[in-house]
Structure 1
Amino acid sequence: MNVPIRRVAVLVLAMFLALMVATTYIQFVRADDLNADPRNKRSVYDEFGVDRGPIVVDGSPIASSSPVDDPYGFQREYANGPLWAPVTGFFSIPNGSTGLERTENEYLNGTADDLWQSRLTALFTGEQPQGSSVELTLDADVQQAAWDALGDQRGAVVAIEPKTGKILALVSKPSFDPNPLASHDLGAAGQAYQDAVSADDKRMFNRAIAGDTYPPGSTFKLVTSAAALESGDYEPDTEVPAPDQYQYANSTDTLKNFGNERCSPTGEMSLADALRISCNTAFAQLGVDLGDDTMREQAEKFGFDQDLSIPLTVTPSQFPPAADDFDSNDLARASIGQGEVKATPLQMAMVSAAIANDGVQMAPYLVQTVRTPDLKVVSEAKPEELRRSVSAETADELTQMMIGVVQDGSGTSAQIQGVEVAGKTGTAENVPGQAPHAWFTSFAPADDPQVAVAVIVEHGGSAGSEATGGAVAAPIAKAVMQAVLGR
């Protein structure tokens, strides 16, 4: 071979090698970066060109995809969007995705590892790729009952099946409509998103599980009661101090009862009666007597300061951490659900659910079943025990105490004819100068619990500064329990 030909051959070989290296680099090394690049329209078309699976409640889709004659192929649609938006979230070209649309994306778009057989079948048959359906634990009637009962008030409602952890209702208000955010008119969709996130009412927050957590107020007295009973030093009929005012240490300030009411003319009352009428001074002293380690340990046993996914990410509820500046006055406030204690409505529903389930707290979950387009089950959720919150004996004692709250205590508005209801009210101070939050958590029937509920109405809702948990939140919980029980 002469020199010129050899040089050309070497040049051609070098060019082939360069092409192979460049192709390998682009397809393997840079693949993820290029796919994620917002300028890569092909990846957008690929993502939105898939017949995305539906999100289903009671056999009906609450999120589905319809074919459209545009470059994206399919339009995502949401039935009764605001009702379900805190759960579904949205799937949008310019705005990304949230909620179950994000957490279940690989099932919905058909790319999950355990869907490989469906993808292989579609490859050989030439069928249009399809995503799987995601079936939820939610009950449409219960969700609607919670939505209607909350009305125009800001707040949230959560309902759980105590024995399994299935979430039956998850409502957050105000809500938003995901449909404008999912529009293929990118300018309009982007503007709809900006309008929603900048709204003063924080409609994009899922108040049931995230966003701004709340002081739980007197609903937290269930945790304090549990700590007392679990210590072995207290029984429901144990007499505890219940003064007209609790004197803070090294201070002239005092903690008073709601409305400056007197809990007991003798300055003492049983633990059960203190919970029944929600005596602040009794529980402030009780928490201090138990100590911060005991209180913190009991709160953690109910799920405070623990990470949780349902599979939506849940903001951890918080009991004040141990610190040099955490003193007995802080503990007194924390023991009645004030101060630095913060909770989500889901957390307080989990407290009631654990008591209802003989002290065992089940993992709450939203996704029941994932099915392929030909209805084969890909995954099926099974109840999972999270932790033992209290002993079965303590759970029974707390149940009887909570029954007293509803029978003739602060929660009589939750009574259901023919059903024994266990519950606890809460009226939580928050921002100085603003009306308190109204809380209620409960379960029913008390002897065979089918549902545990937590309700919060921000700043007293329509009742404003006159609100109490018993007057405002308890009737909402009652409506949800009735929907579950068919009453």
Structure 2
Amino acid sequence: MNTTTRRLAGIVMVMFLALLVSTTWIQFFAADRLNNDPRNARALYAQFGTDRGPIVVGGEAIVDSVPVDDEWNYQREYAQGRLYAPLTGYYSLVSGTSGIERAENDFLAGSADALWVERVQNILTGSDPQGSSVELTIDPEAQQAAWDALGDQRGAVVALEPSTGRILALVSKPTFDPNDLASHDTAEANQAYLDLLNDEDDPLLSRASNTLEPPGSTFKLVTTAAALESGEYTADSVIDAPSTYTLTGTSTDVGNFAGTSCASAGEMTLAEALRISCNTAYLGLAGELGAEAMNEQAEKFGFGSTHDIPFTTSASQYDPDVDAMSTDQVELSGIGQGSVLAHPLQVAMVSAAIANGGELMEPYSVDRVRDAELEVVEETRTNSLGRAVSTETASALTDMMVSVVESGSGTSAQISGVPVAGKTGTAQHGDNSAPPHVWFTGFAPADDPQVAVAVIVDEGGALGGEATGGRVAAPIAKAVIEAVLNG
């Protein structure tokens, strides 16, 4: 072999190696980037040309893929789209995915690692890939009851199974119709998305799990838990309950609802203070407990943490900087004002933990996933997030919450023949110029809990400034509880 031939062979070898390296890089290292590039039309055709799996509630598909006569082959169809939108989210050519559609995308698209056998079979047989079905934990009767009871009011409702964390209902209003975003008319879908983004009510954001508001007096459950867990208080402990309370270090006086006095003697038991929701008693109590004890108790109930249900919730907060809290801020936190913020899922978790003997279960909305042959390929296992309070504290709180519904601020949640435990809430927000948000949280039956509920109605709903948690939110919770217990 002469010099020229060797040089030519060397050049060919280098070119071959360069081609091999380039191909390997594109097919392996750069594959994800290229597949996810929005300019990659082939990826879009592959994605939307798949028979995506259904999302199922109570044995019925609430989301499915239907054949269409266009280049995409299938289009997502949402039965009762507005009712389930905060859970299902959307699947759109224009705006991508959200909710269950995003969190469970690999299973719905049939590309999850757990489906590798089916994927190999599809390759060998030349069959088109088929997505798996995702079965939700939602009780359809409870979901509908929450929707109907909330009516045209802005707000949210969450119901949980205390012993497992299963989400039985999750409703948020105002909401949206995912069918508008699933349209293959891209101009129409894009306009629908822009309209939703520009809507001042933020219908794309779930008020049930991602919008944070002051929880008002429902947070007194956390304050009471902190007091009982300290070992320095019992339900019968007598605490100060003045007509008005001047926040420490300020000239600000805080009173009780409608300017009433909680007790003529200026003091009352802790149980009585919770029953009638006495603000002045809880302001002083929180100040005595201190920021560290209050924050620690809130965190044990789940505050400060996000939860994948499977889409990610916002983290409710006690205070972003506990060490810097002044005494007056700590006092306000005792009644769920000041820096305290929560969503209904978090408030429902507080009631659920009390109902479950003090143990907090991780909330979840997906029961199981089935492949195209209806074989279970994944099933959610219940998971404890730890003990929020002792069993003794949970029992004491339950008795105190029962008295709230029997003869206190939450009588509108009463159900004949069923003991209901509950707590009302009225929360100032923003600059206090708008009517307060109203809350109710509770569980039933109190002696054998099957469901825990939290309700928020923004700015008093239909009653506006005349609203209270007992008048507006409690009847909504009652309707959901009845739907679960009668189901």
Indicate the TM-score class for this superposition, using the shorter chain for normalisation: over 0.9
1:253-288 CA distances to partner (integer Å, 9 max, x unpaired)? 211111111000000111111001000000000111
Aligned to 1:454: 454
Q: C-alpha distance in 1, partners of 2:357/2:265?
A: 34
Counterpart AA for 1:368: D
Aligned to 2:69: 69
Q: Does 1:441 align with 2:429?
A: no
Q: Which moved more, 1:475-484 or 1:59-68?
A: 59-68
Q: C-alpha distance in 2, partners of 1:267/1:5?
A: 106
Aligned residues: 486
* Post-superposition offset of 1:39: 1.2
* Post-superposition offset of 1:324: 5.6
Counterpart AA for 2:450: Q
Q: 1:204 to 1:3 in 2, by over 3 A?
A: same
Contact 2:52 2:108 in 1 (8 A): yes
Aligned to 1:239: 238
Aligned to 1:283: 282
* Post-superposition offset of 1:204: 0.7
Q: C-alpha distance in 2, partners of 1:37/1:312?
A: 23
Q: C-alpha distance in 2, partners of 1:438/1:358?
A: 27
Q: Does 1:21 align with 2:32?
A: no
TM norm structure 1? 0.97
Q: Which moved more, 1:343-352 or 1:26-35?
A: 26-35
Aligned to 1:104: 104
Aligned to 2:253: 254
Q: C-alpha distance in 2, partners of 1:340/1:217?
A: 11
Q: 1:17 to 1:160 in 2, by over 3 A?
A: same
Q: C-alpha distance in 2, partners of 1:322/1:8?
A: 70
Counterpart AA for 1:141: E
Q: SS state of the match for residue 32, structure 1?
A: helix
Q: C-alpha distance in 1, partners of 2:209/2:380?
A: 20
Q: SS state of the match for residue 396, structure 2?
A: helix
Contact 2:48 2:74 in 1 (8 A): yes
Q: SS state of the match for residue 442, structure 1?
A: strand
Q: Which moved more, 1:107-116 or 1:319-328?
A: 319-328
Q: Does 1:335 align with 2:334?
A: yes
TM norm structure 2? 0.97
* Post-superposition offset of 1:482: 0.5
* Post-superposition offset of 1:63: 1.0
1:339-373 CA distances to partner (integer Å, 9 max, x unpaired)? 00001100000000000011111111100010001
Q: Which moved more, 1:231-240 or 1:453-462?
A: 231-240
1:168-200 CA distances to partner (integer Å, 9 max, x unpaired)? 000000000001101111111111111111112
Q: Which moved more, 1:223-232 or 1:470-479?
A: 223-232
Q: Does 1:153 align with 2:175?
A: no
Q: C-alpha distance in 2, partners of 1:351/1:420?
A: 18
Alignment map for 1:312-331 (pairs within 5 Å): 312-323=311-322, 325-331=324-330
Q: C-alpha distance in 2, partners of 1:78/1:250?
A: 55
Q: SS state of the match for residue 361, structure 1?
A: strand
Counterpart AA for 1:463: L
Q: 1:114 to 1:423 in 2, by over 3 A?
A: same
Gaps of at least 5 residues in structure 1 are: none
Q: Does 1:225 align with 2:224?
A: yes
Counterpart AA for 2:134: V
Q: C-alpha distance in 1, partners of 2:204/2:21?
A: 46
* Post-superposition offset of 1:22: 2.6
Aligned to 1:426: 425
Q: C-alpha distance in 1, partners of 2:36/2:170?
A: 32
Q: SS state of the match for residue 454, structure 2?
A: strand
1:136-169 CA distances to partner (integer Å, 9 max, x unpaired)? 0001111000000000001000000001111000
Alignment map for 1:14-163 (pairs within 5 Å): 14-163=14-163
Counterpart AA for 1:167: I
Q: C-alpha distance in 2, partners of 1:2/1:264?
A: 110
1:375-414 CA distances to partner (integer Å, 9 max, x unpaired)? 1110111221111011111111100100100001000000
Q: Percent identity at matched positions?
A: 58
* Post-superposition offset of 1:15: 3.9
1:412-436 CA distances to partner (integer Å, 9 max, x unpaired)? 0000111110000000001221000
1:17-37 CA distances to partner (integer Å, 9 max, x unpaired)? 333233223222322221122
Q: Which moved more, 1:153-162 or 1:7-16?
A: 7-16
Aligned to 2:292: 293
Q: C-alpha distance in 1, partners of 2:132/2:366?
A: 13
Counterpart AA for 1:261: T
Q: C-alpha distance in 2, partners of 1:274/1:6?
A: 96
Q: SS state of the match for residue 413, structure 1?
A: helix
Q: SS state of the match for residue 308, structure 1?
A: coil
Gaps of at least 5 residues in structure 2 are: none
Aligned to 2:360: 361
* Post-superposition offset of 1:301: 0.9
Q: 1:23 to 1:248 in 2, by over 3 A?
A: same
Q: C-alpha distance in 2, partners of 1:421/1:134?
A: 33
